[in-house]
Structure 1
């Protein structure tokens, strides 16, 4: 039997921000910093965000400015546009 790690936001969908950092890497990060990661392309960042937020594309927001991965657990606020 293959075990799959459950999404980090198992109780409710979460807003996930995606965008590029200053190095050009793609960042996906949950609004409150509970999960996040660095990715080589947008498709992988979106795939990760969808897995972690329970397959809710309407809860993914692509940022128009740089975003740095910050796992401090503080709420983020950014000017953004919705992906879905």
Structure 2
């Protein structure tokens, strides 16, 4: 039997999940407030995780082209700073 971890508890279903590559080329998926996130070997795995964690809402996933570093302490840059020339909605 395969064990499956339940999704993280969310304060808001509308929270953005940011995905992109870090400075080492790994894929990062992280909720905008740092509530959940992870490192992945492929974009497909980052997307799969983001969809699982956000309750399958692709409209709340944003892929960014600049480097994004996983921050386990929830200190991502304010969302407005992330949406410069490199913003690209996934959905």
Please give the range of the TM-score, normalised by the shorter of the 2 chains: 0.7 to 0.9
1:49-64 aligned at under 5 Å gives the runs: 49-64=50-65
Aligned to 2:18: 17
Aligned to 1:7: 7
TM-score by length of 2: 0.81
My pick for the range that moved more, 1-10 or 13-22, is 1-10
1:1-84 aligned at under 5 Å gives the runs: 4-10=4-10, 12-13=12-13, 14-76=15-77, 77=79, 78-79=82-83, 80-84=87-91
Question: For residues 54 and 2 of structure 1, what CA distance do their matches in structure 2 show?
Answer: 20
Long gaps (5+) in structure 1: none
Structure 1 position 22, deviation (Å): 0.7
TM-score by length of 1: 0.87
RMSD value over aligned CA atoms?
A: 1.9
Equivalenced residue count is: 84
